[in-house]
Amino acid sequence: MFKKSYLQQILFGLTAVLLFASCDKDFNELGTDIVGDDHFLFERYTDASVKAYNQKLGPISSNNLPINPLGFYYNPAFGTTQANFVTQVQLDSENPTFNNVDPENYDVEPTEIDSIILNIPYYSKVDEVEEVEVDGVKEIRTTYILDSIYGVQESKFKLSVYQSNYFLRDLDPSQSLAERQLYFTDMDDVIDNNKIPVLLNDAPLSGNNTDGHENTQFYFDKREHKTTVLNEEDEVVPTRSVPSMRLHLNKTVFTNLLLNAPSGQLTNNAVFRNYFRGLYFKVENGNPGQMAMLNFQGGKITVHYNEDKKKTVEGVVTYEREFKTLTMSMTGNTVSLLNNSNENVDYLNAANSNQEAAKLYVKGGQGSIAVIDVFGADADNNGIADEIEVIKANGWMINEANLTFYIDRTAMSDTRTAEPNRIFLYDLNNRRTLVDYIFDPTTNTVDPKVGKYIYGGIIEKEDVENGRGTKYKIRITNHLRNMISNDSTNVRLGLSVTENINSVAFSKLRTANTNTEYAPNMSVLSPLGTILYGTNIPVGDPDYDKRLKLEIYYTKPD
């Protein structure tokens, strides 16, 4: 008798297949989908031909990504990645006016900027909430755990924020303005050479640590921010906010930029984006450093200023000093700027080789992918691989098919090195997802990044505290069925890391290679990489059983 959970799994799989069949009239259902590792009802075949190769990508388009890395990340298996960033800035309220005073009255004070605060929240979650007493006043203090931070905890580096003078166009004039302008990961020198060389985050460090400035001793601090404001009774009221990059920017620069702006430059954002071309975030001296994934679009620049406002009461004119704010958002065009250094020789040799690989180096950013061929040759040139013809002739009913990727745990044993939580398998020829991805309805509302879990690609780890990864498994059942039953093309497959399985857009390479001219854009923004066993492992080798293989579970006809 089947266990209840096993029956539920089969019913779930059948539902997924029915959904698939209802959406694709060309799909021919064969067999029963299986979810899990109980395959005792079926035959298992692992001798299908599989060959895998490495492919270095080089510079890749990185404009307008949803999140962007910033900082340094060192992985001994790959090398060091430095991530800088440039973004346009927009006024939240267009055409602001200043100096709202009588120009003939020289007794009024001019408008004056008090401070400019740049604030970009980190991805974080609450760790603990407690009540504390500070100077006899009870307060609620929250401690946080930062998410998407890689590298050595609190490792400091130099962070400089400059005004960019490089205009980021929307459309490409070389394409008759019919396509969006692409910007690439290797443009850091171009942006750096076009910055206005006045450091914006030049404020002294606060608190007890006054050695240096906000830029020279920067790290991603998990502590909440505590600020104070005056209420209507002029009482000091503390407020607390989530961990974030919080920098004080140069008042003189923004006084000239905003208060002394030439006529018409603040009228609308189309004009403003050319007048103030954005911010350039540059990191230096990271050893080993930290890297954070940041939602720059969620950040704000808040200008706090004081201004006299003219008031007339019963014919009497007075001037009252007011505290005001102007906000700007880091929206518009952006570019993630990546530099690789100290790259591992084994990685470079493997990634630049066109030979069948014993190890697959799969790295995000300006990194590398794996290229995979299944089912071997088509000796009779009829468009169908010979192995598929044998399966068709034998009448196999395909119940499940998976590609299993074992991690080289020796190469990835450094516990300081983060491993990708997810890898992504796709149709390399046509730059699109596989049908198993498309018709996987599974979601996870708590952590959307682990949705599509039937399709898979999620890291499997040792069952111990802080266990390291052992393997990834990706389901290609429907992809295989389509080749067998519908004579679908046996396309080459690509394998990359992914930061978010729910986004499957592609970014263009600056220089196309022999295999592709695109890679998934969710791999571009990830600094992580992993080393997997490939296919060029001879029989008798200690790692032979860990080679990449296609596992097919099937039933024979009666």
pLDDT in tens, 88-101: 999 999 999 887 55
What's the average model confidence in pLDDT over 64-69?
Answer: 96
- Residue found under tokens 């290679």: 513
Percentage of the chain exceeding pLDDT 90: 70
Helix (H, G, I), strand (E, B) or coil at 388: helix
* Counts of helices then strands in the chain (DSSP H, E): 9, 31
In this model, does residue 1 exceed pLDDT 50? Answer: no
Written as six digits, the tokens of 515 are 């295999």
Confidence of residue 14 (pLDDT cuts 50, 70, 90): very low
In this model, does residue 25 exceed pLDDT 50? Answer: no
- The reported pLDDT for the residue numbered 106 is 58
Question: How far apart are the C-alpha atoms of 162 and 117, rounded to whole Å?
Answer: 14
- The reported pLDDT for the residue numbered 135 is 73
Written as six digits, the tokens of 97 are 């006016």
pTM of the shown model: 0.88
Q: Decide: 33 and 19 in contact? Cβ < 8 Å.
A: no
Confidence of residue 539 (pLDDT cuts 50, 70, 90): very high
Question: How far apart are the C-alpha atoms of 122 and 108, rounded to whole Å?
Answer: 41
What's the average model confidence in pLDDT over 319-345?
Answer: 94
- Residue found under tokens 């694709």: 24
What's the average model confidence in pLDDT over 176-202?
Answer: 96
Confidence of residue 232 (pLDDT cuts 50, 70, 90): low
Q: Decide: 368 and 54 in contact? Cβ < 8 Å.
A: yes
In this model, does residue 105 exceed pLDDT 80? Answer: no
The H or E element that residue 163 is part of is: strand 158-164
In this model, does residue 19 exceed pLDDT 50? Answer: no
Q: Where are the domains of the chain?
A: 4-63+343-555, 79-121+147-220+245-338
- The reported pLDDT for the residue numbered 205 is 62
Pairing of strands 137-146, 124-134: antiparallel
Written as six digits, the tokens of 46 are 């692992």
Q: Decide: 332 and 90 in contact? Cβ < 8 Å.
A: yes
In this model, does residue 424 exceed pLDDT 80? Answer: yes
pLDDT tens digits, one per residue of 239-286: 888 999 999 999 999 999 999 999 999 999 999 999 999 999 999 998
- The reported pLDDT for the residue numbered 157 is 93
Q: Which range has the worst mean pLDDT, 149-163, 226-240, 283-297, 466-480? A: 226-240
DSSP-derived letter for residue 539 is T
In this model, does residue 535 exceed pLDDT 70? Answer: yes
- The reported pLDDT for the residue numbered 544 is 96
Q: Which residue has the higher pLDDT, 174 or 455?
A: 455
What residue ranges in 209-267 does DSSP mark as E strands? Answer: 225-230, 236-241, 244-248
Confidence of residue 186 (pLDDT cuts 50, 70, 90): very high
Q: Using only C-alpha atoms, what is the Rg of the chain?
A: 29
pLDDT tens digits, one per residue of 106-155: 567 889 999 999 999 999 999 999 888 777 778 888 999 999 999 988 88
What's the average model confidence in pLDDT over 373-378?
Answer: 91
Give me the DSSP letters along 304-320.
EEEEEEEEEETTEEEEE
- The reported pLDDT for the residue numbered 66 is 94
Is the CA virtual torsion 302, 305, 308, 311 positive or negative? positive
Vertex 171: Cα angle to 169 and 177 (nearest 5):
140
Query: Which of 310, 279, 294 shows the shortest CA–CA distance to 111?
Result: 310
DSSP-derived letter for residue 258 is I
How do the residues of the chain divide into helix, strand and coil, expressed in percent and rounded to 5?
15, 40, 45
In this model, does residue 2 exceed pLDDT 80? Answer: no
- The reported pLDDT for the residue numbered 377 is 87
In this model, does residue 21 exceed pLDDT 50? Answer: no
Pairing of strands 195-196, 158-164: antiparallel
In this model, does residue 295 exceed pLDDT 50? Answer: yes
Written as six digits, the tokens of 294 are 């940041």
Rounded to whole angstroms, the maximal C-alpha distance in the chain is 102
Q: Decide: 519 and 57 in contact? Cβ < 8 Å.
A: yes
How high is the mean pLDDT of the chain?
A: 88
In this model, does residue 11 exceed pLDDT 60? Answer: no
